[in-house]
Amino acid sequence: EQPSLDAVGFYEGFLRYRKKSYPDALAAFSKTQTTDPNIRQLNGFYKGLTLGVLGLSDQAVAELDEASKIETAEPFSGPIQRVRDTFTTARTTERRFRGEIGLGGYYSDNVALHPNPSNDPSAENLRRGSTTSPGLLTAVHGEYSWLRSGPVEAIASYNFLQTVNVNDGLSRFNIQDHQVGLAGYYRGTVGAMPYQGGLSYAYDYLLLGQAGFMSRHTPTLSGTLIESANHMTTGVFRFQDKTFYRDADVTTRFPGDQRDALNWMGGFTHAFRFQEDRHLLSVGYQYDVEDAQGNNFSYSGNRLLLGGLYTLPWGQTRLRYDYQVHWRGYRSPNTTFPISSPGTTVRDDTEQIHFARIEKPLPNNFTVSLQYQRIQNDSNLAVYAFTQNIFYLITTWVY
């Protein structure tokens, strides 16, 4: 039977819902205007279902309440009420605590970040000693949703990271990082597009070789908009206050090398989504400014972000690749390097990071992953140019 013109939006939304294109279905249901009470009630019912699938339980309940009030020749209130109760119960019983533990090993070919080979005597002097080592890694993440009220959610979190280099001569480069955080989120829709706004704060304290190395205060403002089933955009503005604890001796002699800094960063990432996020492509851009106490470390930077995710057709095995390049232009001539002529060269760096990962889900919420990371920092000052390759094998359990 040919649908009436004022009900086309509902049928379009229903087809998109069946195809699991939920943002597109929500857009179609939201635009539907019909005088037929049966279609209006069905439209409200499926719009409520779609909102629930998208995680907007409170809005789903409100939509289902409105649908149940519509008087029709064939009452549909029973199924509507049952679905409404399901969303209400799911919201109150949804797990509040989530966590994961990762254990694994790695091999790094440049633990100490020795400079690349060059003709600079200062850089060559820093290349002495061993810098390769296998190691062990532990990572822990936990978060608790301590507040849920309508579209608002607040989360407290803790992260822990420990690396141990098996090469005893490199134990001073063992990393231990503790991070605590608070975050608040508001979820809703603008038009027919779901969105999430967030404000978070994190404090982390990093130790190098069991001694304090750096602490950071990081407040972040973010927003994510799901334009359709195939498009999602996230914007972020972040401020960071960094304090380094091992600079006292160095900066007494070289005050320009004081690294304590304030950093401002703003940017966006757009994701292209395929087959219900089984495959993803993303592109992003960030601009940041580092205002360090020492002029040698103050810069303005531009960062390009590219990424991809592909899910293989067997075993839910996932392939992931991320790439970023960070161009940093420093503000003043470096007052320390080169040693032969300090104050004559303005530092200019290009840092590239490649990250590749293949992961296989296992029973009982376990995942095993093989990862590779390459960091390559090219600089016109040889002491800052280095390359590091790290291979990881990690097993993760999620609760």
pTM higher than 0.85:
no
Written as one letter, the residue type at 324 is Q
Distance CA 320, CA 308 (A): 6
Judge whether 299 and 330 are in contact, CB under 8 Å.
yes
- pLDDT confidence of residue 82: 65
Which of 223, 164, 226, 235 shows the shortest CA–CA distance to 198?
Answer: 223
CA distances (Å), origin 393, targets 301, 361, 375, 389:
32, 14, 18, 14
- pLDDT confidence of residue 170: 96
Write out the two tokens for 258.
């004081």
Given a cut of 50, the residues of the chain with pLDDT beneath it are 1-2
pLDDT, tens digit (0-9, with 9 covering 90-100), for 333-386: 999 999 999 999 999 999 999 999 999 999 999 999 999 999 999 999 999 999
Provide the 8-state DSSP code for 116: P
Length of the chain: 399
- pLDDT confidence of residue 2: 47
CA distances (Å), origin 120, targets 124, 341, 380, 384:
6, 12, 11, 11
